[in-house]
Amino acid sequence: MANTVTLIEHEAIRDWAAGRAGHPAIVDVSPQSGTQPMLRIVFGEAAYEDVDRPERPPNAGGYDLVEWDEWFRIFDADELALVVAEELPGRRDSFYELVRRP
């Protein structure tokens, strides 16, 4: 694995995702109280929401595309950081991992 960089600043995370056609998303979670939403960044065709998609019942799996404001609200509340692969000339690695802030 290449070297990694830890991102916490919102603008740096948006820039990193935009450079890879990434969009913020939240994984469907159980409607039961106490369940934490799971953040994701989806890329490519997966980042386009199908408006003709039928409504899913709660906790049916998959993810919902959200605005960055909503994504960052959870990101900051849970004190997360985004770990990404270090930029290398000629490579656009979309590897990322969400971790607790150091």
Decide if pLDDT at 35 tops 60: yes
Query: What average pLDDT score do residues 61-84 get?
Result: 92
Are the beta carbons of 85 and 93 closer than 8 angstroms? yes
Mean pLDDT lowest among 24-38, 64-78, 86-100: 24-38
Decide if pLDDT at 17 tops 50: yes
Is the CA virtual torsion 91, 67, 65, 63 positive or negative? Answer: positive
Q: What is the 3-state secondary structure (H, E, C) of the chain?
A: CCCEEEECCHHHHHHHHHCCCEEEEEECCCCCCCCCCEEEEEEHHHHCCCCCCCCCCCCCCCEEECCHHHHHHHHHHCCEEEEEECCECCECCCCEEEEECC
Decide if pLDDT at 52 tops 50: no
Decide if pLDDT at 48 tops 80: no
Which tokens is 53 given? 């998609």
Decide if pLDDT at 73 tops 60: yes
Which residue type is seen at 4?
T
Query: What average pLDDT score do residues 31-48 get?
Result: 72
Task: Give the max Cα distance, the chain.
Answer: 46
What is the residue-averaged pLDDT of the chain? 82
Decide if pLDDT at 60 tops 60: no
pTM of the complete model: 0.79
